[in-house]
Structure 1
Amino acid sequence: MPMSLTKKTVGSLADLARLAGLSTSTVSRALAGNPAIRRETRERIAALAREYGYRPNVVGRNLRTGRTQAIAVILPLGHDVGQPVSDPFFITLLGHLADALTARGYDLLLSRVIPSGDDWLANMTDSGRVDGVLIIGQSDQIETIEEVAQRYPPLVIWGASFPGRVQCTVGTDNRTGGEMATLHLLNGGRRHLAFFGNPDFPELGERYEGFLSAHRKAGAAPPEHLLAVHLTPQTAYETIGEFLDGGARVDGIVAATDIIAMAAIRALTERGLSVPGDVAVVGYDDLEIAIHAAPALTTIRQDIGAGAIAMVDLLMRRLAGEETDSVILPPELIVRQSA
C-alpha cells in the first residue's frame, strides 16, 4: 500500500523526491541551487520543502561532500586599524557579496583582522571551517596574501593586480581611474593639485601613480602636494584641516576615496573656501552617499556590484578546480557639482 505523505512524514530527501516525482539526485541539486536544474523546478522543490517542513541534514551533507558551505570574507586592516566595518565601501561590497554567496547556497563568515603576525590568513585557510576565502583589500599584507595564494587556490581578493603575482584579484584599473580624475581637473584649468590618500595602500598607490602620470601627459608642472590621509572620516577631516591651516596653495584635490573627498569638502567649507569655486574636489568609488554630498561629488565610479559577482564567480570556478585570471574593471568618471 503506497505511503501517505504528510507534512510530518517528509523527513528525508527520498520522501521529498517521491512527493515531487523526481529523482533524489535532482531534488538534492535543486535544493543546493544548482543552475543545471531549471529555475522553475528549483522553485517548485523549494516550495514543497517549505510546505512539508523538510529540513536538509546539513551536517550529513557536509560530511559526504567534504564541504562546509561557508565562505570566509576577511577585512585585513594592517594599514588603518581604526577603519570600521561600517565604512560605506565595506558595507556596500559586503552586501553584494552576501547576496551573491547566498544565491550559490553558501553562508558568509565575516572576519575583521588587525594583523599582528604572518599567520592570520593561514589560520583561516587551514582551519577547515570554510571552503574558500574572499579578502577585501590587500592593506599592507600583500606579501602574506601572496604566500598563501601560492598554495591555496580558493582565494580571491578585492584589490590591485600586479604583474608576477599569483593572487587572483578583482578591482578597478586604479591607475587609469587616478589619471581620469586628475586630467578632469587639469583640463578644467586647475594647476595646483593635491592628492589626498596613503599610497602605501596598493589600490591607493595605483591611483596616486595615475595622478602623477596625468600631470606628465598634460605637460603640467609636477604636483605640489601629497597628503597621506587616513581612511576614517574624522581622522581624515582633522588631517586635511591641519594641512589647509598651514597655508597650502591648492585649487584642486584628487581624493583617493569618496570618504576622504567628503572630509575635504567639509574642511574646505568650514574655512570659507567654496567648492568648486575655490577648490574643485574629485573622489573615488561613487558610493551611494556621493550624490548626497553638498555639493554632489564628482567621482570615479568602480562597479562594486559587478566586482562582487566576479569575485564569487571566480571563487566558485576555483573551488571546481579551474585556473582563473584576475578581473580588472573599467573606471568611469562621474561628473557632478564638486568639480
Structure 2
Amino acid sequence: MDEGLGRTGRRVRNIAELAKLAGVSAGTVSRALAGKSLVNAETRARIQALAAEHDFRPNQMARRLRTQRTGVIGVVVPLGHERRQHISDPFFMTMLGHLADALTENGYDVMLSRIIPDAEDWLEAIVDSGMLDGVLVIGQSTQFDAIERVAGQYRPLVAWGSHWEGQVHCAIGTDNVGGGRLAGEHLIARGKRRLAFLGEVRTPEIRQRYEGVVAATAAAGLPPPLQLDTHLASDVMEHEIAAHVARIGRDIDGLACASDVIAMNALRVLADHGLSVPDAIGVVGFDDLPLAGQTVPRLTTIRQDIAAGAKAMVAALYARLAGEDSPSVEMVPVLVERDST
C-alpha cells in the first residue's frame, strides 16, 4: 500500500472532506490546521493527526488569497551597468545565499530575477505583478532613479547599495568612499606611490570606491589614481586587465580594485606576465568574499560584511511589511590585510 495514503488507502483532497471525516465544521478544520487556540488542544491534535494520516495538504493558493499575502519575496539583480554579468558571480552568490537563508527560515519563498532594464518601468512591472509580498534589490546599478520612483509608492522595497541625504528608498550598504580610502591609504603605507583603480565607475558604489582612493592619494600629496576601465563581466574581465598590464608594469606599483573578483583576476594576470605581488605591485580587493583567503598570494581586501548586510536587508523589509519605517544603514568597512600587499 502507498504509505502516503494512510491506513484507509484514501487521500483527503479538501477541507470539506477532512471536516466530514473529523465530524466538525470546515471552519474548525481550517483553524485547527492553522494552529489557532480557538480550537481546543484535543480537537486540534485529532484533526492534525487525521490530516497527516490521509496525506492532506492545505491549498496554499486559497490561503494566500484569504490573507492577501503570497508568501514570496522577490530578489532582483538589475544589470543596467553590465549586461554580460551573471548571477553566478561570486558576490551575487554570496549575497543570495545569505538572503535566501534569512527569508526561507521565516517561511517565505524566493523568486529570483536577473533584469536587463530595457524598459523604464521594469521595476513597476515587478512590484505590480501581484506575485510578491516585497522586493529586495541587489545593487542600484545605473537604476537609482527607477528605484527611487518605485519606492515613493511601494514601501516593502529594500536595496543593497549607497545612501545619499534625501534618498527615498531604504538602502543597506557599506561606506564605499571610506572603503576606497582605506585601500588607498594601505597601499601608500606599504610604500606604493603610483596607484591605479581597476573598475568601471558608472555605478554609484564603484564610483564612490574610486573617489575614496582619490581622497587617499590627495591627502598623501600623490597624483590621483589612474582609473582603468575593468568591467565586472567574467568573460571580458581577464582580457581587459591583460590589456592594462603593460601600463601597470611600467607606471603603476599599487592596484586598488573595485571588487575581489577583479583583484583575483588581476593576481592571475600579473603572475602570467611575471610581475611579482606584492614586491613589484601591491593589490587590494573589495568585498572579502570567502575566496579571498584562498588566492595565491592571499588577497588583502576591504571587508563589507555581506552576511550582516543581508540580515539587515531582510530585517528592514520585514519592518516595512509590518507597516513600520526602516532607515537606511551604512556599514563600516574594515581592512583585511593578507599577503597581496
Evaluate the alpha carbon distance shift between residue 294 and residue 105 of structure 1 in structure 2; reply closer, same or farther with a 3 A threshold.
same
Q: Which residue is equivalent to 1:39?
A: none
CA–CA distance in 2 between the matches of 1:205 and 1:117?
A: 24
Displacement after TM superposition at 1:116 (Å): 0.8
Q: Which residue is equivalent to 1:85?
A: 87
CA–CA distance in 1 between the matches of 2:177 and 2:170?
A: 18
Deviations 1:52-71 (A, max 9, x none): 44423211211111111111
2:34 to 14, 17, 28: 28
CA contact (8 A) 1:172 1:331 kept: yes
3-state DSSP of counterpart to 2:34:
helix
Matched, 1:163 2:165: yes
Evaluate the alpha carbon distance shift between residue 220 and residue 97 of structure 1 in structure 2; reply closer, same or farther with a 3 A threshold.
same
CA–CA distance in 2 between the matches of 1:206 and 1:160?
A: 9
CA contact (8 A) 1:234 1:263 kept: no
Evaluate the alpha carbon distance shift between residue 70 and residue 296 of structure 1 in structure 2; reply closer, same or farther with a 3 A threshold.
same
Counterpart amino acid of residue 277 in structure 2: V
Counterpart amino acid of residue 98 in structure 2: H
The gaps in structure 2 that reach 5 residues or longer are 1-5, 37-44
CA–CA distance in 2 between the matches of 1:58 and 1:204?
A: 42
3-state DSSP of counterpart to 1:161:
coil
Which of the pair has more CA radius of gyration?
A: 2
Evaluate the alpha carbon distance shift between residue 25 and residue 193 of structure 1 in structure 2; reply closer, same or farther with a 3 A threshold.
farther
CA–CA distance in 2 between the matches of 1:294 and 1:248?
A: 23
Displacement after TM superposition at 1:6 (Å): 7.6
Q: Which residue is equivalent to 1:202?
A: 204
2:189 to 187, 190, 195: 187
Deviations 1:22-53 (A, max 9, x none): 997686269xxxxxxxxxxxxx9xx9799544
CA–CA distance in 2 between the matches of 1:260 and 1:335?
A: 17
Counterpart amino acid of residue 313 in structure 2: M
**Pairing 1:221-232 to 2, within 5 Å after superposition:** 221-232=222-233
CA contact (8 A) 1:255 1:283 kept: yes
CA contact (8 A) 2:12 2:56 kept: no
CA–CA distance in 1 between the matches of 2:117 and 2:254?
A: 35
CA–CA distance in 1 between the matches of 2:65 and 2:225?
A: 61
Deviations 1:246-304 (A, max 9, x none): 46411110001001001111121111100111001000111111111111111111111
Number of residues of Structure 1 aligned to a counterpart in Structure 2: 316
Evaluate the alpha carbon distance shift between residue 285 and residue 25 of structure 1 in structure 2; reply closer, same or farther with a 3 A threshold.
farther
What percent of counterpart residues are identical?
47
Kindly report the root-mean-square deviation, in angstroms, between the aligned alpha carbons of the 2 structures.
2.7
Q: Which residue is equivalent to 1:301?
A: 303
TM-score by length of structure 2 reads 0.85
CA–CA distance in 2 between the matches of 1:267 and 1:184?
A: 22
The gaps in structure 1 that reach 5 residues or longer are 31-43
Deviations 1:218-250 (A, max 9, x none): x23122410121012342221121112246411
Q: Which residue is equivalent to 1:61?
A: 63
Displacement after TM superposition at 1:316 (Å): 1.1
CA–CA distance in 1 between the matches of 2:284 and 2:257?
A: 6
Evaluate the alpha carbon distance shift between residue 50 and residue 240 of structure 1 in structure 2; reply closer, same or farther with a 3 A threshold.
farther
Evaluate the alpha carbon distance shift between residue 101 and residue 248 of structure 1 in structure 2; reply closer, same or farther with a 3 A threshold.
same
Displacement after TM superposition at 1:310 (Å): 1.1
Q: Which residue is equivalent to 1:149?
A: 151
3-state DSSP of counterpart to 1:226:
strand
TM-score by length of structure 1 reads 0.86
Deviations 1:159-186 (A, max 9, x none): 1111111010111111111111111111
Evaluate the alpha carbon distance shift between residue 318 and residue 6 of structure 1 in structure 2; reply closer, same or farther with a 3 A threshold.
farther
Q: Which residue is equivalent to 1:37?
A: none
Evaluate the alpha carbon distance shift between residue 113 and residue 50 of structure 1 in structure 2; reply closer, same or farther with a 3 A threshold.
farther
CA contact (8 A) 1:193 1:251 kept: yes
Q: Which residue is equivalent to 1:40?
A: none
Q: Which residue is equivalent to 1:243?
A: 244
